[in-house]
Amino acid sequence: MRFHVLTLFPEMIAQGLGYSVLGRAEQRGQLHFHMVDIRDYTQDRHGKVDDSPYGGGAGMLMQAQPVYDAYRSVAAEYESRGGGKIRTVYVTPQGKTFTQRMARELAREEELVFLCGHYEGVDERVLEEIVTDYVSLGDYVLTGGELPAMVMIDAIARLVPGVLHNGESAETESFSGSLLEYPQYSRPEIWRGRPVPEVLLSGDHKRIRDWRLERSVERTRQRRPDLYERYRIRQGFIERFSRQKRRYIHLTELLCRDMAWEECRGENSLLLRVEDTRTYALYAESSEEAERLLAEQGAKLFGKEEGMDLLVCGEEIRDFLVIKYGLVSGDACYQACYTRREPLRVRHRDIRPLTAEALEYVVRRYPAPGRAYIEGRIQAGAVFGIYTEGIEPYPSGFIGLHEDGSMGMLYVEEDCRGQGLASSLEGWLINRHLRRGETPYCRVGETNIAALGLQEKLGLCLCGDLMWRLREKKQPACGK
């Protein structure tokens, strides 16, 4: 990932980002930091980049011309490589407050520009011309944008795949599930008369997980009541869904994995949107509940933009949405989930994330989701290939994770079938979920007999009720 920083103090940025995890990631070629000195682009012979503001007022203002020319030096190169308007973040107290969710969103970009202001700010005209995101680090004022830009870059860069040696570290810490991180301890066992909690020395992993969750909840309640209230509401819905776990496994996992936010909710209804996608999941106990929930939001959300998907359970609710909003119902699917905690035996273990070089290979064999979708999943490190002797450099098959966290995109080469590769692929992915404390689940087309048989063989529990994926225009429906 490439970060471009427009600044008056490039050395400050270079020194701040050149150490520790980010510095090593840059040396490995996973990150690239490009500092652009705005002064290099001024047309003033004395090197001035600021002037007094029209209308009077204290302080000086950064001029539009040098900022714009510095920006164009980056944007022109980006556009020449086929990119559109490069995403540009202006660091300002007037912007949206930076959050972990925003960090995850920005980490999906290939390149980002950060504009660091100084003095009393930047000429509004150039901001209107180049800025896509106005972001604040918090409700206070600093002398310049360099420090908050470095903080944001650090938070974003560590989410780029491969930057952290332990890829799961970024998913298990503060703010990852609406809870603050639990307290942690290291050697010595006793320090200044304070022992490490006994449970952490027990070797009982279940007790340790329970203790950590309990401490996370309590710490969040005490220190961040706003986060705790969000967690409490979500837990209420999760407990409700758990009474029909197979039917609502997708909703449970979206909430537990913190992969979606609430578009709207009622006492007996909830509409979730999967983060940074046009995929929604609706829960309602009746069509009347769905109608009340969507009374204000429905017309705005549905029918206005192509590519929307809406996951629903229950024929009554499906029919209401089709009639009310003109949505198109895809084929019916069953949900299946692996509810045991024991990992599965995986016979073929050479399974690795696929890279961009495998895009054409995957698209030719599994075209249904579309090229752009598959490319995005590969970029996210969410498509995995299985390799057998003599087949390299191409895999013998692959499996993937959809944007909502469900397993899918399973394919095995025809001449490699009958060797247990499909079982190994799905078993490997199930074990990966289990290590993360997640419940693996998938959706299988109603008529996909082979895939339904595979789920039974692997021990997944099949929901007896059907679900549907509603779309704004007819596309191939869900399948395994």
């609706």: which residue's tokens?
282
Reported pTM: 0.74
**Using an 8 Å Cβ cutoff, are 353 and 401 in contact?**
no
Q: What's the pLDDT score for residue 233? A: 92
φ, ψ dihedrals at 455, nearest 5°: -65, -40
The pLDDT-based confidence of 101 (bands split at 50, 70, 90) is confident
Average pLDDT value over all residues in the chain? 91
DSSP letters spanning 233-280: HHHHHHHHHHTTTTTTHHHHHHHHTT-EEEEEEETTEEEEEETTSSEE
Q: What's the pLDDT score for residue 306? A: 63
126-141 mean pLDDT: 94
**Using an 8 Å Cβ cutoff, are 312 and 321 in contact?**
yes
CA-CA-CA-CA dihedral for 171, 274, 247, 447, to nearest 10:
-110
Task: Please check the confidence at residue 108 and state whether its pLDDT lies above 90.
Answer: no
């920005």: which residue's tokens?
106
Model confidence pLDDT, tens digit, residues 86-97 = 999 999 989 999
Residues across the chain: 480
Task: Please check the confidence at residue 473 and state whether its pLDDT lies above 70.
Answer: no
CA-nearest of 461, 472, 462 to 299 is 472
Measure the CA–CA gap between 282 and 339, rounded to whole angstroms: 23
Model confidence pLDDT, tens digit, residues 201-256 = 999 999 999 999 999 999 999 999 998 998 999 999 999 999 999 999 999 999 99
Q: What's the pLDDT score for residue 177? A: 59
Q: What's the pLDDT score for residue 478? A: 53
DSSP letters spanning 153-214: HHHHHTTSTTSSSSTTGGGSSTTTTSSPPPP---S-SEETTEEPPGGGGS--HHHHHHHHHH
The pLDDT-based confidence of 58 (bands split at 50, 70, 90) is confident
If phi > 0 it is left, if psi is from -120 to 50 it is alpha, else beta; for residue 154 that is alpha
Task: Please check the confidence at residue 175 and state whether its pLDDT lies above 60.
Answer: no
Task: Please check the confidence at residue 173 and state whether its pLDDT lies above 50.
Answer: no
Measure the CA–CA gap between 276 and 223, rounded to whole angstroms: 28
Q: What's the pLDDT score for residue 298? A: 77
